[in-house]
């Protein structure tokens, strides 16, 4: 039997003590209500590893160098686009397009991603369950197109004072490439953990770029930046709409200045593809940088922390931190993990703690059936919160390469087990 995983959980507020150790092999912790564990079965001998093996290589420079960015992001001067570089579609000029920008609904979380947590209701209709952080007791149904949408959130201005929407166009490009990779990871007919693992360099690069974008594009990121570097007073000479878009420039510049380096850092780390018995949620901060979500140096925080991305209600990507890789050689390459019992609840805790305004989950995979928030979340200094942040350190065994989990357990739930008396 594999050694049990452990999660060092949040200490009681105001107390400093030894972290709690929770065994993860029991399937569920005492008193949780009990959720069953998915059945683990052997994988056919030829169905586990891809031809690319499990050895990590350094990022291919032709895919991750800075000038891989689309042409609209050939940066000038301080990172702002010039008018000549502002992208133009069809015959629309940037000035004409910004007037439509007043009505654009820029999604801060990709609809493509949210659909993996949604129930398909009708053609192009995908329903989620959502909870606002300030109204957790009031869950509500919502379509993927209707949540996480902010008017003009990714509009900016060029050095010449013209409106552009180049950041949104970059995100659209990255999402199109990442969507194919996510389908590879999540849509295998037979297995919950795809046999096409680890990923080849090209899809790995596409997903690394997309993940970097999710770290940088969030509402929480914009609030963090505004708190660290308060915006300058608006220029009264600018038209109102242009002034509003210009206020977005610091965040947009931060995105394009850091996305290439962050993608390279993500690409070069070992990745774990995991299955969780516990139903997972996601939020308006999809990629969780454990324990350091609001560090001033986001690239350094990402390099030294565990990184987690829930992929759907039962699967996730987990990038172990350098300490784990130092002590466990099996985590120095891409690997698999099976998250059972209280360990899965801790993953929900981490995803919940970093959310900015809302969390979402699949209507038939409600984490609240077995879990509820406890203790403080990650503080928001821009909102006046100064409490101590929860901290986590996860230890887990690498899932054996000859085992897998049947794909039906990504949709079905095993019968509940009764807690031992």
Distance (Å, rounded) from C-alpha 282 to C-alpha 285?
A: 8
List, for residues 371-406, the tens digit of each pLDDT value: 999 889 999 999 999 999 999 988 999 999 889 999
* CB contact at 8 A, 288 and 351: yes
Q: What pLDDT score does 159 carry?
A: 86
Burial 188-200 (b: 16+ CB within 10 A, else e): beebbbbebbbbe
Q: Is residue 215 classed as helix, strand or coil in its secondary structure?
A: helix
* CB contact at 8 A, 342 and 28: yes
Q: What pLDDT score does 263 carry?
A: 97
Tell me which long-range contacts 158-161 makes (C-beta under 8 A, separation of at least 24). 158/80, 158/81, 158/82, 158/83, 158/85, 158/86, 158/94, 159/76, 159/77, 159/80, 159/81, 159/82, 159/83, 160/82, 160/83, 161/238, 161/242, 161/246
Distance (Å, rounded) from C-alpha 360 to C-alpha 4?
A: 29
In the predicted model, is pLDDT for residue 126 greater than 90?
A: yes
Closest alpha carbon to 174 in 137, 217, 127: 217
List, for residues 203-256, the tens digit of each pLDDT value: 999 999 999 999 999 999 999 999 999 877 766 666 777 788 889 999 999 999
In the predicted model, is pLDDT for residue 50 greater than 90?
A: no
* Higher-confidence position of 211 and 46: 211
Q: Percent of the chain, pLDDT > 70?
A: 74
Rounded mean pLDDT of 303-322? 97
Mean pLDDT of the chain: 81
Which DSSP letter does residue 406 get? Answer: B
* CB contact at 8 A, 310 and 281: yes
Query: How far apart, in Å, do the first and last CA atoms of the chain sit?
Result: 24
Closest alpha carbon to 417 in 145, 38, 102: 38
36 pLDDT band, cuts 50/70/90, is low
103 pLDDT band, cuts 50/70/90, is low
* Higher-confidence position of 282 and 65: 282
38 pLDDT band, cuts 50/70/90, is low
The predicted model scores a pTM of 0.82
The least confident of 32-36, 221-225, 271-275 is: 32-36
Classify residue 24 as exposed, middle or buried by CB count within 10 Å of its CB (0-12, 13-18, 19+). Answer: buried
Q: What pLDDT score does 270 carry?
A: 98
In the predicted model, is pLDDT for residue 68 greater than 90?
A: no
32 pLDDT band, cuts 50/70/90, is very low
């Amino acid at each position: 039997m594999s050694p049990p995983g452990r999660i060092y959980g949040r200490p009681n507020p105001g107390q400093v003590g030894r972290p709690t150790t929770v065994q993860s092999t029991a399937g569920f912790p005492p008193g949780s209500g009990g959720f069953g564990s998915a059945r683990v079965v052997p994988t056919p001998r030829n169905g586990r590893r891809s031809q690319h093996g499990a050895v990590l290589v350094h990022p291919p420079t032709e895919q991750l160098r800075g000038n891989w960015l689309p042409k609209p992001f050939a940066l000038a001067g301080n990172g702002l686009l010039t008018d000549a570089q502002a992208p133009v579609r069809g015959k629309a000029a940037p000035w004409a397009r910004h007037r439509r920008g007043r009505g654009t609904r820029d999604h801060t979380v990709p609809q493509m991603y949210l659909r993996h947590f949604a129930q398909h209701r009708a053609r192009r209709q995908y329903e989620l369950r959502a909870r606002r952080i300030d109204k957790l007791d009031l869950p509500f149904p919502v379509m993927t197109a209707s949540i996480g949408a902010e008017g003009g959130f990714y509009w900016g201005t060029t050095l010449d004072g013209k409106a552009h929407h180049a950041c949104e166009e970059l995100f659209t490009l990255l999402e199109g490439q990442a969507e194919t990779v996510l389908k590879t990871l999540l849509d295998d007919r037979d297995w919950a953990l795809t046999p096409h693992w680890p990923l080849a360099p090209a899809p790995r690069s596409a997903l690394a770029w997309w993940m970097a974008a999710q770290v940088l594009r969030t509402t929480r990121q914009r609030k963090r930046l505004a708190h660290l570097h308060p915006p300058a007073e608006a220029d009264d000479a600018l038209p109102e709409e242009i002034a509003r878009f210009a206020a977005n420039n610091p965040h947009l510049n931060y995105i394009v200045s850091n996305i290439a380096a962050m993608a390279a850092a993500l690409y070069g780390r070992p990745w774990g593809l995991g299955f969780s018995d516990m139903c997972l949620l996601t939020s308006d901060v999809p990629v969780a940088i454990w324990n350091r979500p609001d560090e001033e140096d986001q690239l350094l925080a990402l390099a030294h922390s565990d990184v987690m991305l829930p992929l759907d209600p039962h699967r996730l990507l987990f990038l172990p931190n350098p300490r784990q890789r130092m002590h466990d050689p099996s985590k120095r390459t891409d690997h698999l993990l099976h998250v059972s019992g209280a360990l899965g609840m801790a993953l929900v805790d981490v995803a919940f703690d970093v959310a900015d305004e809302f969390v979402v989950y699949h209507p038939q995979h409600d984490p609240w059936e077995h879990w509820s928030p406890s203790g403080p979340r990650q503080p928001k200094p821009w909102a006046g919160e100064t409490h101590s942040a929860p901290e986590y350190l996860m230890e887990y065994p690498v899932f054996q390469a000859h085992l897998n989990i049947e794909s039906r357990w990504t949709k079905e739930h095993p019968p509940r087990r009764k807690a031992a008396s």
